[in-house]
Structure 1
């Protein structure tokens, strides 16, 4: 009977994540036998410098993930810009599937694929970042018997992503970034005790499929919500989950409640600025008409200016609420 080890690490980070990832890889030993798959939220149009940064920061080589490569131990694989990084059948897959929580690469798609492929051998690591990408994916790893690690929010430059993970999952380990590398080495060196096979998970299978843009019908996604997708405008379906549900549209764009609220707030502010511009233009045009001898347009200008003032106050109040 072959002894199993926790040898597949999926790490996700966003704002402040470069520093956390550098600290993590610096703490790994030179002979670390596991593979580390990394997603850092980066602009879609810019090539990532993260592989070079991580290669200089620790003893393991770091490289951009390439589609179809066999995963090998002792290597750090980094998701390239504008591609989800997935683990399927022991090989890396790069996908331009639908964005999740507004990101591609997204952390949740990687975590779900690792949970599905590795089960109890998986270790999920959530590091510094904003919003809550990675929380649902970490829950998937936990549900398949994998090990969950979260950077101590007090140690993170941006603590919201670790906090969201801790609100979603009872983490097996909470540690500062500098201690996570040695922790991973200890976890990988410890053989897994015999445990039950968690069995198939149709929802997890379908969500990994969505990351690959396989055909998916609405009855397999969830319950219609009446909300619109911020990415494409299509209707959102609710996927039940604990402690909070998530949302997907028909083509696969996915949102956590927090990310969806943030995107709705940005869309609302954008709409208010557009309305303010239209009112200012109406007021200016009406005053020009009134100056040309058509005084009846003066009241229209005054009404538009008053409405514009109300909109400015509303935008300021919304901004103050978000800051608080």
Structure 2
């Protein structure tokens, strides 16, 4: 029996606000599908995205609320620090563990929409860095839904669109100026559902974890330890999920290998800057103690503190050159 694609889920990160504004501006007032929007946000930061999207186009945009029904022509935006998930005809807000350091996480919304609505879902990946949204978009397609991706050449940050296209080939690749019109055509088409396999236990577990419905110790019962630690809680990361290089810690934080590598790079740079600050402060303290020793006429102490200050200055200079060689992203 033919169905209509009546649920559009859009995920974005860096550069995503502008892409969302452009897409929403093209959606007509009679757009016959509900729209969910997930933008990676800082947990404590208020967001004006619903107001921005309401002003950008003809559809009403509002912060998603727990239990709110999915309404055609209404945009619901994931609030900070909550996963936006889909149940039968409604949305759920949950504070399950972060994924790749994010809550809300694009992958969590894509997965839940695919499980709840299958072929009725259109998953849209817009501008963003790294590869968030890719595994969730794979799930959308695996459950019979449709993948739409912003043209990487059109995105302010091409990482998310490029990663999505590497894993989920689709003919529906558009610049933002065209993407909204394409969505309006796609949601008005009747489609015949295709047969899909039952969802895997790993997929169902990931969805339950996002909903914060899993006994945390259960995560370690069948997953081998990876030898890595979680950047969020520093607990042991376990190999988990249907995909290679996918990890969860014992409390549920999820990481892909690429996101884990990026987090480790951030930690490394932070440690280097901390070490540099410590060396420079040690040099300043040694200089002060040298001056105090000079005032007292303690020649031996003066020599010792002079040597300490010299060694710290030399080490700090070498370390600063190394940190700056890492690139502009390290200059903070």
Q: Is the 8 A contact 2:223 2:240 kept in 1?
A: yes
Post-superposition offset of 1:320:
5.9
C-alpha distance in 2 between matches for 1:322 and 1:172? 38
1:316 aligns with 2:316: no
1:246 aligns with 2:246: yes
1:271 aligns with 2:279: no
- TM-align CA RMSD: 2.1
Q: Is the 8 A contact 2:35 2:75 kept in 1?
A: yes
1:23 aligns with 2:22: yes
Q: TM-score, normalised by structure 1?
A: 0.91
1:75 aligns with 2:74: yes
Q: Tell me which residue corresponds to 2:309.
A: 301
Post-superposition offset of 1:194:
4.0
CA distance 1:218–1:240, change in 2 (3 Å): closer
Q: Is the 8 A contact 1:132 1:256 kept in 2?
A: no
C-alpha distance in 2 between matches for 1:273 and 1:55? 42
Q: Is the 8 A contact 1:221 1:238 kept in 2?
A: no
C-alpha distance in 2 between matches for 1:191 and 1:15? 33
Post-superposition offset of 1:9:
1.0
Matching of residues 162-201 of structure 1 within 5 Å: 162-201=161-200
Post-superposition offset of 1:296:
2.9
Q: Is the 8 A contact 2:59 2:74 kept in 1?
A: yes
Q: Tell me which residue corresponds to 1:98.
A: 97
3-state secondary structure, aligned to 2:190? coil
CA distance 1:277–1:57, change in 2 (3 Å): closer
1:229-272: per-residue Cα shift (whole Å, max 9, x none)?
Answer: 11111111233555x52222111222222222221111111111
* Comparing 163-172 and 85-94, the one that deviates more: 163-172
Q: How many residues align?
A: 321
Q: Tell me which residue corresponds to 2:210.
A: 211
1:157-191: per-residue Cα shift (whole Å, max 9, x none)?
Answer: 22121112112221241111122222222222221
1:82-139: per-residue Cα shift (whole Å, max 9, x none)?
Answer: 2111112322111122222222211111111111111121110000112221111111
**Structure 1 unmatched ranges of 5 or more:** none
Q: Tell me which residue corresponds to 2:233.
A: 232
3-state secondary structure, aligned to 2:327? helix
C-alpha distance in 2 between matches for 1:83 and 1:240? 22
**Structure 2 unmatched ranges of 5 or more:** none
C-alpha distance in 1 between matches for 2:163 and 2:173? 13
Q: Tell me which residue corresponds to 1:262.
A: 262
Computing the radius of gyration from Cα coordinates, the structure with the larger value is 2
Post-superposition offset of 1:32:
1.7
